[in-house]
Amino acid sequence: MSFRLEQVSLTHANGFVALSGISLAVAAGERIAVVGPSGAGKTTLLRLLGAALRPSSGGIELLGAAPWALPARELRALRARIGVVHQAPPLPPRQRVVTAVLAGRLGQWPLWKSLASLVYPADIAGARAALARLDLGERLFDRCDRISGGQLQRVGIARVLYQRPELILADEPVSALDPALARQAVRVLGEDAAARGATLVASLHAVDLALAEFPRIVGVKDGRIAFDLPAAEVGEARLHALYAGEGEALPLLADEPRFAAQPVDAGPARRGACC
């Protein structure tokens, strides 16, 4: 079992209920897409699975451990087995791309190697190989503030590929990519997870991308699980019910969408997204 949530709820200090009564069990090696409207609780769910947030109630088992019963050192070791792809990767602007990628293994390396790698990259070939899978091998020594937002997202993905974690959590990992690059990036994550028997959980904006690339779909709305189904059983009516109140159209990636509804206008930020 990769992880199990039993009636997990999370209420913030201001009283806002972010998640309520979430139960979810996922076997090692599964690939799951989490979909739902903005504010549904998708990011909060992934932060719980990354042991970055502690639930207000309920039980969590991650990679065979109860994270919040562990001593601090063991909790850090558990987090090192989990890879997180952020929507906006927290990469220092002046950092070189190679250093950003190699940072994926800082939690696994001894302290001396981690510090030495900041001065001279410890595994240039390994970083280059991870970047090449996302067509970024030539940007190895660029500074992070000299590449586009979409390229930064792919650097964040390359860092997790280099890390080789047992559990990959991807929170809107392709929001700054055009459709072709988004499909490629999600496919690379899925192929990497499948090859290593790792678990992949991705929160995605585009429902057609989720349906095309993931065998299991979890719909989240108002902090609760609305459905948990094989992709083949998630129909248009169910998706429209999930996104009710978001407008008549479903959020789609494809230029020629699977559904009859037209894609939601993503606004200037997404229209201006680049590779």
Domains of the chain (ranges; CATH) run 1-81+165-251 (3.40.50.300), 86-164 (no CATH)
List helix spans (H) across 120-178: 124-132, 149-163
**114 near 71, Cβ under 8 Å?**
no
CB-based burial, 244-259: b 16+ in 10 Å, e otherwise? eeeeebbbbbeeebeb
Q: Are 22 and 58 in contact (CB under 8 A)?
A: yes
Q: Rounded distance, CA 107 to CA 65, Å?
A: 18
Task: Return d(Cα 23, Cα 78) in angstroms, integer.
Answer: 21
Q: How many CB atoms sit inside 10 A of residue 226's CB?
A: 17
Look at the block and give the residue holding tokens 């974690």: 165
Interstrand relation of 199-203 and 31-35 (parallel, antiparallel or unpaired): parallel
Using CA atoms, how far apart are residues 250 and 234, in angstroms rounded to an integer? Answer: 13
**pTM tops 0.85, yes or no:** yes
Let me know: does 228 contact 214? Beta carbons within 8 Å.
Answer: no
C-alpha distance from residue 79 to each of 74, 154, 240 (Å): 9, 21, 36
List, for the chain, all residue ranges whose pLDDT scores fall below the cut of 50. Answer: 256-257, 260-274
**Angstrom distance (rounded) from CA 176 to CA 194:** 25
3-state secondary structure of 85: strand
Bridge partners (DSSP) listed for residue 61: 4
Distance CA 253, CA 267 (A): 13
Q: Copy the structure tokens of residue 84.
A: 């997180």
Q: What is the pLDDT of residue 203?
A: 98
